[in-house]
Amino acid sequence: MQRLSIRKFLNNKVLAYLIAGSFLLLSILLGISIGTVSVPIFTIIQIIMSKLFGFISLDQIDPMFSSIVLNIRLPRVILAGLVGASLAIAGAAFQGLLRNPLADPYTLGVSSGASVGAVLTLFFNLSIPIIGSFTLPLLSILFSWVTIFLVLAFARKIERSMRVETIILTGIIFSSFLGAIISLMIALTGDELRQIIGWLLGSVSMRGWEYIKIITPFFVLGSVILIFNAKELNAMSFGEERAHHLGVNVQKRKLMILTAGSILTGAAVAVSGTIGFVGLVIPHLSRLLWGPDHRHLLPLSIITGSGFLIVADLISRTIISPTELPIGVITALFGAPVFALILLQRKRTERSG
């Protein structure tokens, strides 16, 4: 009886959105409030309301607090939220498409592909005149898109049935190879590009509003494509053949989903570097709590992933303050054990089945 009550509680989608939304709101407020200088939460609300609606004049608020919130912490928190949301929804889509909770942009090699695109852009100081600052994310997206298709093509060559374990292994092979290319480029350059090592570990530090302007259009585009394909993802999670019988144009939808996932991953990597395991942990957690229906799983992954990365960033900059850890270190500390647990759980299920 108690289990039934818990199941009904978790199946209440309105409640699910309220819980996820409350977690995100709390993460945002704590992310802005906590730091070397603590900013009271009421002051944060006053500053944001003043900026949005002009209810209160900023002259009535300590200018130091206003500067910290508007110029440093708010853009950092928003960027962390957008990156976390992008990686989480991309991971949820990849897991649904490949029917495996181990699939995510990091384990499939998509993040590494995007990193190569970003490093090449910086290595050769590339800038396409028409698009300017969007050169970096566009090349990251292109490389992430090419990488996922190469991974799938190579996995098919190895094994026609394309078992997900084969795809994951192929993704790890590609990640290692692309990581070696990045290391080579760093070794061939001077101190300037060596600074990118810290960026590759993942960080949203010292990013301003311009980075938010870069990622936002790609986040909106990728998320909209995936949410509009939620029903098709539900069908394809039962297998491509069954989805085809249900009237889904499998090849077209697969291309759209992989492209959208690559857009989200490429844009996230372009502004924050490589941050692993967000796309693995958050969709898996959301699926366990609120079920596998992608019509709700995708938006809930966005909200939860956003809050998770804001909290991870908060930990990364406060745990050994004033020194900051790369945010990728924190997500890896959480994500790697979860990855191992999911793998063990799958093996036990296979043996018992």
Q: Give the domain ranges of the chain.
A: 21-352
Q: Provide, rounded to the nearest whole percent, the portion of the chain with pLDDT above 90.
A: 48
Q: Is the predicted pLDDT of residue 313 greater than 80, yes or no?
A: yes
HSE value, Cβ hemisphere, 13 Å, CA-based, for 189: 19
What is the rounded CA–CA span in Å between residue 71 and residue 345? 45
H or E element at residue 8: helix 2-11
**Higher pLDDT, residue 344 or 256:** 256
Q: Which amino acid is at 26?
A: L
User: Tokens at residue 37, please?
Assistant: 């200088």
Question: Residue holding tokens 């924050």?
Answer: 272
Q: What is the pLDDT averaged over residues 219-244?
A: 93
Which residue, among 147, 150, 57, has the nearest Cα to 105 in the 3D structure? Answer: 147
Per-residue pLDDT band for 67 (boundaries 50, 70, 90) equals very high
Percent of the chain surpassing pLDDT 70: 92
* CATH numeric code, 21-352: 1.10.3470.10
Identify residue 310 by its one-letter amino acid code: I
Give the pLDDT mean for 305-321.
94
Burial 165-184, CB ≥16 within 10 A → b, else e: eebbbbbbebbeebbeebee
pTM: 0.91
**What is the structure's pLDDT at 90?**
97
Phi, psi of 102 (to 5 degrees): -85, -10
pLDDT at 4: 58
Q: What is the pLDDT of residue 194?
A: 61
Query: With 60 as the cut, is the pLDDT of residue 5 above it?
Result: no
Please calculate the CA angle 291-345-309 and round it to the nearest 5 degrees: 60
